[in-house]
Amino acid sequence: MWVGTFHGLAHRLLKAHWRDVGLPENFQILDSDDQLRLVKRVMRALELDEQRWPPRQAQWWINAQKDEGLRSAHIQESGDGQLATMLRVYREYEASCDRLGVIDFAELLLRALELWRHHPQVLAHYQERFQHVLVDEFQDTNAVQYAWLRLLAGSVCRVTAVGDDDQSIYGWRGAKVENILSYGRDFEATHTVRLEQNYRSTSNILKAANAVIEKNPDRLGKKLWTDSGDGEMVALYAAFNEHDEARYIADRLHQWVHDGQRRDEAAILYRSNAQSRVLEAALLQAEIPYRIYGGQRFYERLEIKNALAYLRLMLNVDDDTAFERVINIPARGIGERTQDTIRQTARGSNATLWGACVELIATNGLPGRAKNAVAGFLSLIEDMSLGSDTLKLIEQAETAIERSGLIDLYRREKGERGLARVENLEELVAACGNFQPEHAEQPTLPQFLDQVALDAGDRQADEDQDAVQLMTLHSAKGLEFPLVFLAGMEENLFPHKMSLDEPGRLEEERRLAYVGITRAMQKLYLTFAECRSIYGSESYNSVSRFVRDIPSDVLEEVRLQNTITRPTSYAAGALSSDLGDDTGFALGQLVCHPMYGEGVILNFEGHGPRARVHVQFEEVGTKILILDSARLSAV
- Amino acid code (one letter) for 190: T
Q: Is the peptide bond before 503 cis (omega within 30 degrees of 0)?
A: no
Q: Tell me the three state secondary structure of residue 555.
A: strand
pLDDT at 606: 66
Do residues 534 and 598 both lie within one domain? no
Last residue of a domain, one of 533, 567, 601: 567
Distance (Å, rounded) from C-alpha 210 to C-alpha 228?
A: 16
Last residue of a domain, one of 376, 410, 444: 410
343, part of any domain: yes
pLDDT at 340: 92
476, part of any domain: yes
441, part of any domain: no
Last residue of a domain, one of 138, 154, 186: 186
Do residues 178 and 31 both lie within one domain? yes
pLDDT at 576: 39
pLDDT at 456: 65
Whether 428 and 434 have beta carbons less than 8 Å apart is answered as: no
| Cα separation values, 198 from 195, 222, 523, Å | 8, 12, 15
Q: Is 199 exposed, middle or buried (0-12, 13-18, 19+ CB in 10 A)?
A: exposed
Do residues 241 and 319 both lie within one domain? no
335, part of any domain: yes
| CATH number, domain with residue 167 | 1.10.10.160
610, part of any domain: yes
Distance (Å, rounded) from C-alpha 161 to C-alpha 229?
A: 31
Do residues 537 and 391 both lie within one domain? no
Do residues 398 and 498 both lie within one domain? no
Do residues 553 and 619 both lie within one domain? no
Do residues 588 and 615 both lie within one domain? yes
| CATH number, domain with residue 477 | 3.40.50.300
Q: Among 493, 601, 479, 472, which residue's Cα sits nearest to residue 544?
A: 493
pLDDT at 566: 47
Instruction: For residue 187, give the DSSP letter.
Output: S
The 10s digit of each residue's pLDDT in 422-445 is 989 988 998 888 888 888 888 899
Whether 5 and 108 have beta carbons less than 8 Å apart is answered as: no
pLDDT at 577: 37
Do residues 150 and 276 both lie within one domain? no
The 10s digit of each residue's pLDDT in 220-272 is 989 999 999 999 999 999 998 999 999 999 999 999 999 999 999 999 999 98
State the DSSP string of 492-520: BBTTBGGGGTSTTHHHHHHHHHHHHHTTE
pLDDT at 460: 66
pLDDT at 112: 94
Range(s) of the domain holding residue 165: 6-186
| CATH number, domain with residue 619 | 2.40.10
| CA pseudo-torsion sign 142, 147, 150, 152 | negative
pLDDT at 206: 97
Q: Enumerate helices (H) and strands (E) in the chain, giving the number of each.
A: 24, 19
440, part of any domain: no
Do residues 406 and 337 both lie within one domain? yes
Do residues 400 and 513 both lie within one domain? no
User: To 10 degrees, the CA torsion angle through 122, 126, 129, 134?
Assistant: 180
What stretches in the chain show pLDDT beneath 70? 454, 456-462, 535-536, 559-581, 605-607, 610
Distance (Å, rounded) from C-alpha 592 to C-alpha 585?
A: 12
Nearest-Å Rg of the Cα atoms of the chain is: 28
The tally of domains found in the chain comes to: 4
455, part of any domain: no
Distance (Å, rounded) from C-alpha 31 to C-alpha 103?
A: 9
Q: Tell me the three state secondary structure of residue 135.
A: strand
557, part of any domain: yes
Distance (Å, rounded) from C-alpha 407 to C-alpha 403?
A: 9
pLDDT at 570: 67
Do residues 20 and 133 both lie within one domain? yes
Q: Among 300, 303, 311, which residue's Cα sits nearest to residue 397?
A: 311
State the DSSP string of 429-466: HHHHHH---S-TTS-HHHHHHHHHHHHHHSPPPPTTS-
pLDDT at 446: 87
Whether 514 and 478 have beta carbons less than 8 Å apart is answered as: no
| Cα separation values, 417 from 57, 323, 363, Å | 11, 25, 42
Distance (Å, rounded) from C-alpha 236 to C-alpha 571?
A: 10
Do residues 110 and 154 both lie within one domain? yes
pLDDT at 519: 96
Whether 397 and 425 have beta carbons less than 8 Å apart is answered as: no
